[in-house]
Amino acid sequence: METIHLPEEFQKIALKARAAGKKIALVPTMGNLHDGHASLIDIARKNADLVAVSVFVNPTQFAPNEDYDKYPRTLKADEKLCAEHGADIVFAPAPDAIYAKDASTFVVENACSQGLCGRYRPTHFRGVCTVVNLLFNLAQPNVAVFGQKDAQQVAVLKRMVRDLHIPVEIIVAPIVREGDGLALSSRNKYLSARERAVAPQICAGLNAVKCAVSEGVVDVAKARKIFEEALHANPLFETQYFECVDATTMSQLSEIVPRETLVAVAVFMTETRTRLIDNIRV
């Protein structure tokens, strides 16, 4: 496995591999890799001859008040995990190698990105679409693997690929959870001990909603109440949003449609202001 820092070198290797008939898989990440990312690399390995993992904390998807500066950067450990899971290339560029100082071109998706996280992070998906499009141009992948934990990101990127006729198949990997249900996330590292102890209640709340839907509940307000009850009015939780959306378009539903609805939440843990997202298909 080799680590490449320069975009032009990465693109050259990718173009050569494609010309030689090799199938390329790209796993875009922001590093600080955990078992969730490992599962994406494993899927990539099964689907391609050459597996590239990009490790890049993308500045354009963070708003000025967000955690860009403190986002954990752990390249050595990331390289180890990538090697253990059979990646061929780690692409770890510097921000100024990716974006020219006067970069003025962005990719904007205007439907799936509007609700949920997009409502609270209005420039986030513009940054994600731009960097993923840019990474596709460098990596020349046949397939790219993303995690279902970022369900809205998946919907937005699928729409981008469809709308722009980008010849990349998007593979979606299931959410990987800790034994107690907490969805794996690089941001879990920010949690205080007290927050970490109760954070699995978010997953428990989503499961309770799924259970209620299977028993006939279709009312969104009722579903929200069931979710909030699972958080036990604990002041360590502050729900930013609880929404029932169409699982493909992410548009808000006034009533749950069994099997077609995604229940998505964003919750602040109030001690450290860590924002956790999670979702479940009901």
The binding site for ligand PAF (CB under 6 A) comprises 28-30, 58, 61, 128, 131-132, 150, 153
- For the CB of residue 131, give the shortest distance to ligand PAF in the complex, in Å: 5
Rounded CA-CA distance 82/62 in Å is: 25
Residue 105's SS3 state is: coil
- For the CB of residue 91, give the shortest distance to ligand PAF in the complex, in Å: 11
Task: Tell me whether residue 62 or residue 227 sits nearer to ligand PAF (CB atom).
Answer: 62
Strands 24-29 and 50-55: parallel
- For the CB of residue 149, give the shortest distance to ligand PAF in the complex, in Å: 9
Catalytic residue among 34, 37, 85, 124: 37
Does 85 qualify as catalytic in the annotation? no
Give exposure, 109-147, as e/b (b: 16+ Cβ within 10 Å). beebbbbbbbeebeebbbbbbbbbbbbbebbbbbbbbbb
Task: Tell me whether residue 131 or residue 176 sits nearer to ligand PAF (CB atom).
Answer: 131
Task: Tell me whether residue 148 or residue 201 sits nearer to ligand PAF (CB atom).
Answer: 148
- For the CB of residue 30, give the shortest distance to ligand PAF in the complex, in Å: 4
Task: Tell me whether residue 58 or residue 274 sits nearer to ligand PAF (CB atom).
Answer: 58
Q: What is the largest CA-CA distance in the chain?
A: 59
- Cβ atoms of residues 54 and 133 within 8 Å: no
Rg of the chain (C-alpha set): 19
Write out the catalytic residue numbers. 37
